[in-house]
Structure 1
Amino acid sequence: MEEIFAFLAFGIAALACVFAAVWIARCGRRDRSDRGATLVALSITCLWCLAVASLGADRALSYFAETARDLAWTVVLFRLFANDGRDASLRLVRPVIGSLVFVQLLQVFVVFVAMGGLLDRESASLALQTLALLHLLSAAGALVLLHNLYAGAADMSRRLLAWSAGSLGLFWGFELNFHTVAYLGGAALNEVNGLRGLVMAGMACGIAIGFSRSERGLTFRPSRAVTFQLLSLVLIGGYLAAMVLLSGWAADRFSGDLGRITQVGFLLAAAVFTVLWLPSPRFRDWARVMATKHLFKHRYDYRSEWIRFTHTIGRPAGEEGSLSERAIQSLADITDSPCGLLLVPDEDDALTLAARWRWPQIEVPAPAVPLELARLLEREGLILDLDKSRQGISHRGEAAMVPAWLRDEHHGWAAVPLIHHHRLVGVIVLGRPPVHRGLDWEDFDLLGVAGKQVASYLAEQAGQEALEEARRFDEFNRRMAFVMHDIKNLSSQMALLLANAEKHSENPEFRKDMLITVRNSSDKLNALLARLGRYGGADSGRRERVDLADLGRSLAARFTHTHPVSFSGCGRCPVLADRECLEQALVHLVQNAIDASPARSPVEIQVTNHGLRGAIVIADAGRGMSAQFVRNELFKPFVSTKEGGFGIGAHEARAMVRAMGGRLDVESRESFGSRFSISLPTDAAEKLLASRFDDSPIGAERLDEVHTKRNEVA
């Protein structure tokens, strides 16, 4: 009875395959890439059904035909993947399909060994059980691929794919259960073998119906999560298959304790591989890069990347670093870069280091990037591929402008300009990802857009800081207005007291002392009032010949009674400056040096004449300042390291020196001290400039213009 049912079922299946093949050949869509493979698969399935119906399922010819059937439908599945029209999507599918084909070819070898009389009865039974396991693995892998195909298809493509995917799912799902029971039971299931014929008939009908659909083309859009789960399942399945095959080979090749030792050795080797290699971050990064590169049309999942970017850059201040550090991280996360640097324009528009993220070991000079390269990046919006720059490949002449420190640092990978309203806000240098790869068009597009977004955040922060600074200046100016008003009233009262004393005092000696005291106090208050009136370094326009050597000696004598202050110079050093403003700036710097120095550590004042410029240096051996503080906070008003300090002295000193056409430079190192240097043009430089225009009728106007431009540059 069972044999009759199987004969009828497989006969019906063979007829269904024939009718389905004829229908597809005559009426099915001819533009589908899986059409030819499906016709071949239906023909081979028909032959298998005829072999089972006539000879039985346990004959060698039936086993070979079954393997050929599995190979044919695997090729059909591969062609379904090819229907999305992108060869790149097949690069990751090909290895998986290849693994399934390899498992199916092993079935041929096992059938040949089991049915060729090379083994005894017991070994042949074991070989057939192994054959069932191989069929099981093949069905499981095909089902995983089929699920990934259908889950990644577009909605319109799913309507075309529904019947074909459902039919193949029915086929491989039944095969999976059939061979699982056969493997666990250790024998063929003759009782339910006839059901396989009915399943084949249903599959053939479903495939034929699928080819009658009018929709065209498939769009393969697997999600990243589904893809990585697929890879994990394939890896686990491959591991299990390898262990089963190796263990079976060891059991056949060796006997007794030696066979068991060999199996345990294989198990330990696999465990070591699993522990050392699979959890490796480098291996996971490599797997992710390979999957996104070969399976997907686009490397990036733009929705996920933008959500992560917004979450990183938009975190509140104080959470996991400053905005500058989070700006670096937001771009580094996109390309899986492990570290990065942020360079921002300084006062001369050259790029200097502003922040670093997980890159403490690199030494960055100041300036970090020359002005020419900064202007090129601002003008062109060019993202630098540092590997190509090291090879001398250049698109806008940028390779020759890349600084030596960045060219020699092979961990540097890309430099992304941050452009906001056609203005360069900064440059982010990204470290090389763990898995080496080159930059392509997709990297350039995404980093360019994200860089503009980062630039807007940094520009917004700079604007908020400027507004806050302006607000605090406004508050400070209002306070100073009250102070100036009170001082002015006090000065008027003292002037009145002075007038009354001149009229009514009878004691000549008292009157003399009182007049001297009151006059001195009045002069001091008026001088203070004048300084407060031009607070912030406004240029008074006065220039006089000032000897820096004399001024340095007077400062040393002025402070020497409160702290050791030494002076050294090389003769006279006449410069053109506003003496009162210059003295006020130097007093600020000397007082700061004294406050930062230990009690007995001297402060040094040095004066040098460089011909066209003179310099006065205030150096101390105090606690010093960090490079970050000097770069970002030293000259900001209302920022001070001293308890109770107003933080206005260094800012005012630099503003006054600049107003006189000079320059204030700082060198400092923590625990070693600081060195402030003021450089001013000498009168020799002024005479040299004047001599060039003496013969010109507009010489005076040109000289004033030179003075103005020199002050603007300074």
Structure 2
Amino acid sequence: MAALDGLAQMLSGLALAGFACVALSLFLRPRVRMAALMPAPRLLALAAGSGALWAAAMMAFTPGAPQALLVQMLRDLGMLAWLGATFWPPNAPMSRPLRLIQKMLWTICVLTLLLGAAAFWRGGAAAEPWMEPTLTFAAMVVATGGLVIVDAGARHGAGLRMPVMAVAGGFAMLWAYQLNVQLIGALTGKKASTLIALLPAVALLTLPTYVVAAMDVGRERMRLSRPAATRTLVLLGAAAYLVLIALTVAIARAAGGDYAELAQAISLVALLGAAGLMLASARSRAWLSVMISKHFFEHRYDYRAEWMRFTATLGQGDGEAGRNLYRRVAKALAELTGSPGALLMMPGAGGGFRIAEQWQWPGSVAEDATLSLRSSFMLQETGHIVELDAERRGQEGQDLAIPDWLLADNRAWVVVPVLHFQRMIAIAVLHRPTVSRALDWEDLDVLRIAGQQAASYIAESQSQQALSEARRFDEFNRRFAFIMHDIKNLASQIGLLARNAERHADNPAFRADMTQTLKISAGRLSDLLVRLAPRERGSAAEPGRVLIEPILKDVAAEARPRRELFVGCQAGLAAWADAGSIRQVVAHLVANAIDASAPESPVQLIAVAEQQRVRIDVIDQGCGMTREFIRDELFKPFVSTKDNGFGLGAFEALQLAEAMNGAIEVVSEPGRGSSFTLWMPLADAHDGAAIDARMMKAGRT
């Protein structure tokens, strides 16, 4: 034992010399401040100087003596002062709870110093039996609080350079060792003499961190990762639990009886119960995760880890999710915010957005679960991420036309527009997480950027699909070579008929047969010419201001031999589009309406301005269509209900409408007719936006 005390005194002497040299070096080198490596060099010199006094006390007495514990309070004051000034400068002050902890620690240190000084002044440590337990308890509290301060400082000042983080790590190592030694003594009721004697050696291990600061080395920054911070929090929680057990056992032992074992049993049962609750309850785990992210981390998300997981989910190519891009997008967006499920809505064939895929959405969704074109226009123009709880309370501040089925479904939490170059190609609806919370700026930014990333994947997939359809068109065009054989046969038939006419022109029966044959041949030739007409428009025409009423009158005049149309148009209505494309789309919709209607059924052609858009309705009372046909087949190429039809007209009309930044909406029921609506940008709205842009540009110049 005497040899151990001698070793402790020798190590204390070395620690005294080391701390004194470091304190002097830091005090005499103000250029450390200029190097911006050590924000508070004078306070660090003070901390090193107080460490030297503590080492002197350990050398003069013993490392665990009351006198050394009293001087240790002075050392802790210096360390706490440097931590506060370094990690929380005036322009970035501490949070209120952390500031209260710091003040409490300062108060404990100062009161302990005053009480200890008074006790030693009156008669020494032997005259005050409460002195050593009080100092030990105060040291445990200060060490625990110091570890909390170091952890919070490491997260708050994650961008500080290596010397700062190294010194803070040295403080944490010293406090953690002392806390471990004192906890062992409190739990066993005996001093850990060997561990106490090695305390000067631990102090010597912290000296290199001061040397790094004094020598002005290590300019690179150190950042504490979120997993490391989480493990630190777990260790601090375990330390707090052990402190609580030690205090409980000490109080029970002081009270007498068998309460010490009872207190230990109760503490163990409480710990096992809390751990079981966290393991068994998803809601408890989610609540704990939210609380930790909210109160212990500067940012809610670990962006590196979240982004790697997000891109891995989008890019995975195996499993059920790997075979469905839409499901992967829904899953990736949901996992970002901890949502247990998600819906992905895509543009529907009949207008608006319909549910295309879902990921772990519990239960069923209504059959008419759609988002109208009006709502999609509003979301596209604003790029607004809708928090449905605020929308239900009427706090959003603008009418986004969110459908009733979505507001009524309390599972729906957030609506995220998926935009690609200011064009909305999908809408994600996220399920409410287990522990519901309000969105903050960080959630909105993450969802907005993630939506853009997901949109690029969807757009690439759609481009691949369009390329596949283009190849099918090429194959389809090659088939037209076989039509030339039919034309050749028709030409031969007409030539033969002309030669026979020279010999049998006077025969009435021949003339009747010739007339019928010519009609059939002419009809077949007209059909072939229509089929040979070019389906591609070539380069798109530049949009401009187009009056709608003249186009509607031309289409009605062309259709008059087949059907008299009812035409109604708002006076002066103009669209920002291509006149030829509008005429082609409307003519096709009118032709379809006439084909689907009985000869006596009326067909209406109506155009008005609505929602800053031009709306052209083609309404018939024909046979109508089923929802399944509209959703799955109406606008698909090579699908047609007409005899000998190729199914390209509706597909081409939709392509032309979308090329003009428009859309086609369909409402139909079997036996009740159909209503096709062509939406296009309103010319007045485009002119107003252009004027505003010119005014803003003029204001900047």
Query: 1:469 is matched with which residue?
Result: 469
**Structure-2 separation of matches of 1:657 and 1:13:** 83
Is residue 664–residue 678 contact of structure 1 (8 Å, CA) maintained in 2?
no
Measure how far apart 1:400 and its partner are.
5.5
Identical pairs, percent: 28
Aligned CA distance change for structure 1 residues 260 and 515 (closer, same or farther; 3 Å): farther
**Structure-1 separation of matches of 2:21 and 2:61:** 23
Aligned CA distance change for structure 1 residues 13 and 344 (closer, same or farther; 3 Å): closer
**Structure-1 separation of matches of 2:424 and 2:163:** 50
What are the Cα deviations for residues 441-496 of structure 1, in whole angstroms up to 9, with x where unaligned?
Answer: 44444444433333333333333333332332342343355256337627955995
Is residue 286–residue 435 contact of structure 1 (8 Å, CA) maintained in 2?
yes
Query: 1:707 is matched with which residue?
Result: none
Residue among 509, 516, 530 paired with 1:534:
530
Is 1:368 aligned to 2:371, yes or no? yes
The alignment covers a number of residue pairs equal to 592
What are the Cα deviations for residues 6-55 of structure 1, in whole angstroms up to 9, with x where unaligned?
Answer: 66765775676666556555545568565576566556656655665666
Counterpart mapping for 1:18-167 below 5 A: 24-25=26-27, 27=29, 38=44, 41=47, 45=51, 60=66, 62-63=68-69, 65-66=71-72, 69=75, 73=79, 76-77=82-83, 80-82=86-88, 138=143, 142=147, 149=154, 157-159=161-163, 161-162=165-166, 164-165=167-168, 167=170
Query: 1:699 is matched with which residue?
Result: none
**Structure-2 separation of matches of 1:322 and 1:226:** 35
Query: 2:310 is matched with which residue?
Result: 309
Measure how far apart 1:248 and its partner are.
5.7
Query: 2:236 is matched with which residue?
Result: 234
Measure how far apart 1:273 and its partner are.
1.8
Aligned CA distance change for structure 1 residues 9 and 471 (closer, same or farther; 3 Å): closer
Measure how far apart 1:137 and its partner are.
11
**Structure-2 separation of matches of 1:97 and 1:202:** 26
**Structure-1 separation of matches of 2:281 and 2:135:** 33
Query: 2:324 is matched with which residue?
Result: 322
Counterpart mapping for 1:674-689 below 5 A: 677-678=673-674
Query: 1:635 is matched with which residue?
Result: 635
Is residue 101–residue 145 contact of structure 2 (8 Å, CA) maintained in 1?
no
Query: 2:614 is matched with which residue?
Result: none
Residue among 214, 220, 223 paired with 1:221:
223
Measure how far apart 1:159 and its partner are.
4.1
Query: 1:544 is matched with which residue?
Result: 561
Aligned residue for 2:162, secondary structure, equals helix
Is residue 602–residue 620 contact of structure 2 (8 Å, CA) maintained in 1?
yes
Measure how far apart 1:401 and its partner are.
4.7
Aligned residue for 1:544, secondary structure, equals coil
Residue among 188, 191, 212 paired with 1:188:
191
Is residue 160–residue 216 contact of structure 1 (8 Å, CA) maintained in 2?
no
Residue among 599, 614, 623 paired with 1:618:
623
**Structure-2 separation of matches of 1:353 and 1:192:** 66
Is residue 22–residue 214 contact of structure 2 (8 Å, CA) maintained in 1?
no
Is residue 26–residue 45 contact of structure 2 (8 Å, CA) maintained in 1?
yes
Aligned CA distance change for structure 1 residues 279 and 648 (closer, same or farther; 3 Å): farther
**Structure-2 separation of matches of 1:305 and 1:352:** 28
Aligned CA distance change for structure 1 residues 191 and 475 (closer, same or farther; 3 Å): closer
**Structure-1 separation of matches of 2:205 and 2:497:** 119
Measure how far apart 1:307 and its partner are.
2.9
Aligned residue for 1:618, secondary structure, equals coil
**Structure-2 separation of matches of 1:147 and 1:388:** 33
Structure 1 residue runs without a partner (length 5+): 112-123, 549-575, 588-604, 669-673, 682-714
Aligned residue for 1:336, secondary structure, equals coil
Aligned CA distance change for structure 1 residues 470 and 219 (closer, same or farther; 3 Å): closer
**Structure-2 separation of matches of 1:658 and 1:277:** 54
Aligned CA distance change for structure 1 residues 656 and 326 (closer, same or farther; 3 Å): closer
Is residue 342–residue 429 contact of structure 1 (8 Å, CA) maintained in 2?
yes
Aligned residue for 2:214, secondary structure, equals coil
Is residue 585–residue 652 contact of structure 1 (8 Å, CA) maintained in 2?
no
Aligned residue for 1:534, secondary structure, equals helix
**Structure-1 separation of matches of 2:457 and 2:284:** 35
Aligned residue for 1:221, secondary structure, equals coil
**Structure-1 separation of matches of 2:236 and 2:434:** 24
Aligned CA distance change for structure 1 residues 462 and 647 (closer, same or farther; 3 Å): farther
Is residue 411–residue 432 contact of structure 1 (8 Å, CA) maintained in 2?
yes
Aligned CA distance change for structure 1 residues 196 and 469 (closer, same or farther; 3 Å): closer
Is 1:335 aligned to 2:352, yes or no? no
What are the Cα deviations for residues 238-290 of structure 1, in whole angstroms up to 9, with x where unaligned?
Answer: 3444455546655665745x875664444333322211125644444444445
Aligned CA distance change for structure 1 residues 269 and 200 (closer, same or farther; 3 Å): closer
Is residue 321–residue 328 contact of structure 2 (8 Å, CA) maintained in 1?
no
Aligned CA distance change for structure 1 residues 45 and 607 (closer, same or farther; 3 Å): farther
Normalised to the residue count of structure 2, the TM-score between the two structures is 0.62
Task: Give the AA of the match of 1:534.
Answer: V
Is residue 306–residue 336 contact of structure 2 (8 Å, CA) maintained in 1?
yes
Task: Give the AA of the match of 2:237.
Answer: L
Query: 1:423 is matched with which residue?
Result: 423
**Structure-2 separation of matches of 1:226 and 1:195:** 28
Is residue 33–residue 82 contact of structure 1 (8 Å, CA) maintained in 2?
no
Normalised to the residue count of structure 1, the TM-score between the two structures is 0.61
Aligned CA distance change for structure 1 residues 547 and 406 (closer, same or farther; 3 Å): same
Measure how far apart 1:174 and its partner are.
5.8
Is residue 83–residue 168 contact of structure 2 (8 Å, CA) maintained in 1?
no
**Structure-1 separation of matches of 2:450 and 2:676:** 44
Counterpart mapping for 1:433-452 below 5 A: 433-452=433-452
Aligned residue for 2:371, secondary structure, equals coil
Measure how far apart 1:187 and its partner are.
3.6
Measure how far apart 1:214 and its partner are.
4.4
Measure how far apart 1:158 and its partner are.
1.1
Aligned CA distance change for structure 1 residues 606 and 431 (closer, same or farther; 3 Å): farther
Task: Give the AA of the match of 2:162.
Answer: R
**Structure-1 separation of matches of 2:294 and 2:391:** 24
Query: 1:267 is matched with which residue?
Result: 268
Measure how far apart 1:223 and its partner are.
0.9
Query: 2:696 is matched with which residue?
Result: none
Is residue 593–residue 620 contact of structure 2 (8 Å, CA) maintained in 1?
no
Aligned CA distance change for structure 1 residues 229 and 151 (closer, same or farther; 3 Å): farther
Task: Give the AA of the match of 2:271.
Answer: A
**Backbone CA RMSD of aligned residues:** 6.2
**Structure-1 separation of matches of 2:152 and 2:674:** 74
Is residue 136–residue 182 contact of structure 2 (8 Å, CA) maintained in 1?
no
Larger radius of gyration: 1
Task: Give the AA of the match of 1:228.
Answer: T
**Structure-2 separation of matches of 1:440 and 1:581:** 52
**Structure-1 separation of matches of 2:158 and 2:462:** 46
Measure how far apart 1:368 and its partner are.
1.2
Aligned residue for 1:188, secondary structure, equals coil
Is residue 341–residue 355 contact of structure 1 (8 Å, CA) maintained in 2?
yes
